[in-house]
Amino acid sequence: MEKYGIPQSLLPGKAYINGTWVSEKTGKTFKVLNPATGELLGEVPDLGAAETEEAIGVAYKTFQTWKETTAKERAKILRKWSELLMANQEHLAKILTLENGKPLTEGKGEIGFSASFFDWYAEEARRTYGDVVPTPAQNKRLVVIRQPVGVAGLITPWNFPAGMIARKVAAALAAGCTTVLKPAEDTPLSALAMAQLAEVAGVPAGVFNVIPCSRPNAASVGKTLCESPLVAKISFTGSSATGKLILKQAASTVKKVSMELGGNAPFIVFNSANVDAAVKGAILCKYRGSGQTCVSANRMLIQEGVYDEFCSKFAAEVKKFVVGDGMQEGVTQGPLINERGLEKVKRHVEDALQNGGKVLCGGKPHSLGRTFFEPTVISEVSNKAVVLQEETFGPLAALVKFNTEAEAIAIANNCRHGLAGYFYSQDISQAWRVAEQMEVGMVGINEGLISMDVIPFGGVKESGLGREGSKYGLDDYMEMKYICFGGI
Ligand code: ADP
């Protein structure tokens, strides 16, 4: 990593428990690879259940003092952490791009996005108001206060190696919780760099603990977090399959749970749309992170009146993409995270073609090899295609033609997921109607990028539970306590 000019201090290469950099007891490690080149970036301790128990114990003990700090004190630390992220934006972006593959400009953007959560929650920490309830009994007075839940176990994915951590940790710490984080095995380096900056920012030892582990150890680390009576809350972002398992495990100790799972977002372009704006929005929404975001457009439904125009303009834009190693100047599309990701895109493309699809561009693994797939647009895809049912998580846009608004809504809602949904329309009545009817947690109208610190991010149906970011995000880390003063 030296050749990239990243300071060694941001690459601790160890786990972080109780403010100390630690190794696995027998020295077991796992490898972190660059998805673009296969290059070995580093080795990280491969922790298991024992170290997880230890980190939980530390977090539980630290909670007893951290919860007593004032919101103002916590805000100061969070703000400092935010400033440090921005001061190290270039280096952190490189770490992120090297382990995730996204273009460096997107990596920089993600560090800014991450810093914004620390900044936002530094402010929100001081607004965890309670309530005074008008009393129905003369001799009683009724109050509601809000308190931190306790230790929060956090499990994060690889597609936003810093952003998903920031969104959880900033809210947890603002609320007064302590945390044990298990970052994704593909991208633990960003998590450890963030821990290093947490230390500099003055986050007390034991408040933020990071336990990296390999994929084979994820199940036991996850189970330990879910079943420990000392952990009060689990926040998970990842696949629906893993989320459902975690939800079951967390039931054993009746934990508060937040889940941000798969999306399979509909992206609808109505006849009333400004087609150029829709093309621009669709490009960002579909291909950011090579389509590997849970809010990526997955089911692209285009009304017949604008179908041909949209298809040709959209495909023309996709053809301009520059595919390559995200560290190289000018690259707009990086690789998939691993071969498993590539196989899924391949399967969806083959299936779309068997279901009547016509390739407008791309359609096969990229000549760069391994994890690279050509940015792909397929038109005339039928409703039966698997891409209409399953999230692709890759650079495939499958364009489905529809006739009526009711038909588009029926297709959009015929899905077990409901995270984000998008549509383009210049008709204000239609905008209200469709936004209200979409079975999703978030709607973008004439906009393809909707995620930010101040909004409640989350879904309905099998896309999850709870909300992250915004003033509502704090609720997931706090309990209400009702206090009745009698004998007044
Ligand atoms: P993906 O298949 O894209 O990696 P996952 O949902 O499996 O999506 O991964 C998201 C996070 O969940 C990662 O940190 C991963 O290590 C973790 N994870 C995977 N399996 C388990 C499990 N059985 N228990 C807890 N965490 C898990």
Task: Give the mean pLDDT of 215-241.
Answer: 97
Mutation test residue for ligand 1: of 234, 242, 417, the one with most atoms within 8 Å of CB: 242
Predicted local distance difference test score (pLDDT) of residue 142: 98
Predicted local distance difference test score (pLDDT) of residue 292: 97
Instruction: Report the distance separating Cα 259 and Cα 261, nearest Å.
Output: 6
Q: What pLDDT digit, counting tens, does each position of 251-305 carry?
A: 999 999 999 999 999 999 999 999 999 999 999 999 999 999 999 999 999 999 9
Structure tokens at 259: 């889940």
How confident is residue 425, by pLDDT bands cut at 50, 70 and 90?
Answer: very high
Q: Give the residue, by CA position, lying nearest to ligand 1 atom 18.
A: 218
Is position 350 annotated as part of the catalytic site? Answer: no
DSSP H helices, 125-201, are: 163-175, 188-201
Query: Closest ligand 1 atom to the C-alpha of 249?
Result: 24
Instruction: Report the distance separating Cα 29 and Cα 8, nearest Å.
Output: 19
Q: Give the residue, by CA position, lying nearest to ligand 1 atom 4.
A: 157
406 CB-contact burial (10 Å; exposed 0-12 / middle 13-18 / buried 19+): exposed
Predicted local distance difference test score (pLDDT) of residue 273: 98
SS3 449: coil
The residue annotated as part of the active site, out of 177, 226, 285, 294, is: 294
Predicted local distance difference test score (pLDDT) of residue 369: 87
Q: Give the residue, by CA position, lying nearest to ligand 1 atom 11.
A: 157
Residue 40 CB neighbours (<10 A): 10
Predicted local distance difference test score (pLDDT) of residue 2: 77
Is position 260 annotated as part of the catalytic site? Answer: yes
Vertex 158: Cα angle to 153 and 160 (nearest 5): 90
Ligand 1 contacts (CB < 6 A) are 155-157, 182, 184-185, 218-219, 222, 238-239, 242, 245-246
Q: Give the residue, by CA position, lying nearest to ligand 1 atom 9.
A: 238
SS3 19: coil
Instruction: Report the distance separating Cα 124 and Cα 117, nearest Å.
Output: 10
Predicted local distance difference test score (pLDDT) of residue 383: 86
Task: Give the mean pLDDT of 355-371.
Answer: 95
How confident is residue 6, by pLDDT bands cut at 50, 70 and 90?
Answer: very high
Q: What pLDDT digit, counting tens, does each position of 368-414 carry?
A: 988 999 999 999 999 899 999 999 999 999 999 999 999 999 999 99
Q: Give the residue, by CA position, lying nearest to ligand 1 atom 15.
A: 184
How confident is residue 1, by pLDDT bands cut at 50, 70 and 90?
Answer: confident
Query: Closest ligand 1 atom to the C-alpha of 225?
Result: 25
Structure tokens at 390: 């399953």
Query: Closest ligand 1 atom to the C-alpha of 340?
Result: 2
CA 216 to ligand 1 centroid distance, Å: 10
Render the burial of 160-173: b for 16+ CB within 10 Å, e for the rest. bbbbbbbbbbbbbb
Structural domains in the chain? 2-261+463-483 (3.40.605.10), 265-452 (3.40.309.10)
CA dihedral 337, 340, 346, 349 (to 10 degrees): -80
Query: Closest ligand 1 atom to the C-alpha of 213?
Result: 16
CA 70 to ligand 1 centroid distance, Å: 34
How confident is residue 140, by pLDDT bands cut at 50, 70 and 90?
Answer: very high
CA 311 to ligand 1 centroid distance, Å: 36
Phi, psi of 29 (to 5 degrees): -130, 170
In 3D space, the residue among 432, 145, 181, 394 whose CA is nearest the CA of residue 290 turns out to be 394
Mutation test residue for ligand 1: of 155, 220, 417, the one with most atoms within 8 Å of CB: 155
The residue annotated as part of the active site, out of 54, 110, 199, 260, is: 260
Given a contact cutoff of 8 angstroms between Cβ atoms, the answer to whether 162 and 190 are in contact is: yes
Vertex 23: Cα angle to 253 and 95 (nearest 5): 95
pTM: 0.97
CA 224 to ligand 1 centroid distance, Å: 14
Q: Give the residue, by CA position, lying nearest to ligand 1 atom 3.
A: 239
Query: Closest ligand 1 atom to the C-alpha of 159?
Result: 3
β-sheet bridge partners, residue 32: 42
